[in-house]
Each structure stands twice: as C-alpha cells, then as structure tokens.
Structure 1
Amino acid sequence: MFTFPIVAVRKVIDQGIADAAANGGFRNPYYGTRPGEGEKPGVWLVGDQGVYILSNGKLAEGARPLVVYCEQCHPDGHPDWWDYKRRHFGADDGIEFIEAERLVPLFDRHRRATHLTIALTETDIALSLITR
C-alpha cells in the first residue's frame, strides 16, 4: 500500500492540468504504445527509484513534472524502500495511470479524509481514504 497526502495529490493533478493548458495537452503514460489512452487529467503512479505520483501535462522545454513520493517508499530516508517497492509494486519499473475523474470526486465526497492509499493487485488499483 502507498500513502499520499490528499493535498499533495490535488496539487499534482492541478499542475498537470495547468501544464496541459500551457503546452498542448496531456502526455501519454504508455510512451505512445496505446495512443490516446491516458491522455487526460490524472496522475501517474510510478515505481522505479521509490514509488511516487507525478503530473501528466505536457511540459515546456526543460521543465520537470511535479513529483510526490509516497510515505512508505522514498529512497531518501527510507532504507528499506527497495524491498517495499518490490513487495507492493513489483520488481520491474512501471507506470499506472489513475484518472482525476476517479480521484477528485472521491476526495470531494470525503472532505475529512487527509490521505489517499493506493493498493495494487495483479488486475486492479484499489483506492481508499484515511484520516490522520
């Protein structure tokens, strides 16, 4: 399971939308292998050097996307991040796209929640909210 502050997830979504408006749309999370799929507001859940979400709007030349690491799997400060990533994301690097239209209404319905948790199975992405 991967945990992110809801405030940070909203910032990543907003940054992606702003980048898309300024630079001509959304990036394809599948490196063009599935044209048109995932080219809408949302976040990329990425597993490589840790696990993080990042904004998906097209970027200006030299710009970097907004990145937020999950609480459990940040390579700086979490000595077991690699084992945690391998156990909960898999050994290979990868990207999963999560649509804003799935996240934002969930956040809006549960205003007291403070954190989003994401759990991956072989076939699904399970989202839940917690309050701390």
Structure 2
Amino acid sequence: MFTFPCHAVRKVIARGEADAAANGGFRNPYYGTRPGEGENPGFWLVGDEGVYIISNGKLAEGETPLVVYSNECHPKGSDDWWDYKRRHFGGDDGIEFIDADLVVPNFNRNFAASYLGIQLTENEISFSLITR
C-alpha cells in the first residue's frame, strides 16, 4: 500500500485544476495513445524512481507539475524504496490516472481521515482512508 497525506492529495488536484484553467485543459497521461481518456480533474499515480502522485493540468512553458511522494517509497527518504516499489507497484515504470471523483467525495465525508491509502493488485486499484 502507498499512503499520501489527504491535504497533499487535495493540493495536487487543485494544482492540476488551476494549471488546466490557465493553460487549456488537462494533459493526457497516456501520451496520446488513448485520446480524451484521463483528461479530467484528478492526478497521476506514477511508479518510476519511487512512487508518487503528480498534478495533471497542462503546464505553461518551463513550469513543472506538483509532485508528492508516497510515505513508503521516496528515493531520498527510504533506503528500501526500490524493493518496496517492486513489491507493491511492479518492477516496470508505470502511470495510472486517478479521477478526482473517486477520492474527493470520500475526503468530504470523512474529515478525520489523514491519509489516502492506494493499494494495487495486478487487475485493480483500491482506495482507503486512514486516520492517524
């Protein structure tokens, strides 16, 4: 499982929406191979050097998206990040679009939740709210 602070997830979504409003929409996470898919408010879950979420609004020239690493898989904060990524995300790099409508309503119903848990299996992604 990968965990992200709920307030940070909200910031990533808000940044994507602001970038989209300022720069003409949302980026396609699938590099144009699936036109229109994933071009909504939300974020990308990325497995690369670590596992992180990233804002998805189109960016102005020279701008960078907002990135938040999972608590368990930050290459500068965890000595075993590579093994953890390989075990829970897979050895290959990858990207999954997460629609804001899948997580924000849950945040709004459970203000006590402090973390969003994201669990990956070979065929699905599941979400849980964690209160610490």
Name stretches of at least 5 consecutive residues in structure 2 with no aligned partner: none
3-state DSSP class of the match of 2:83?
A: helix
- The structure 1 segments of at least 4 consecutive aligned residues displaced by more than 2 Å after TM superposition are none
Indicate whether 1:113 and 2:110 are aligned. Answer: no
Q: TM-score, normalised by structure 2?
A: 0.99
3-state DSSP class of the match of 2:111?
A: coil
Partner of 1:4: 4
How do residues 51-130 of structure 1 correspond to structure 2 at under 5 angstroms? 51-130=51-130
How do residues 16-35 of structure 1 correspond to structure 2 at under 5 angstroms? 16-35=16-35
Deviations 1:38-90 (A, max 9, x none): 00000100000000000000000010000000000000021100000000000
Query: How big is the shift at 1:103?
Result: 1.0
Indicate whether 1:42 and 2:42 are aligned. Answer: yes
> In 1, distance between residues paired with 2:106 and 2:98?
12
Aligned length: 132
Q: CA RMSD in A?
A: 0.4
Query: How big is the shift at 1:98?
Result: 0.4
Name stretches of at least 5 consecutive residues in structure 1 with no aligned partner: none
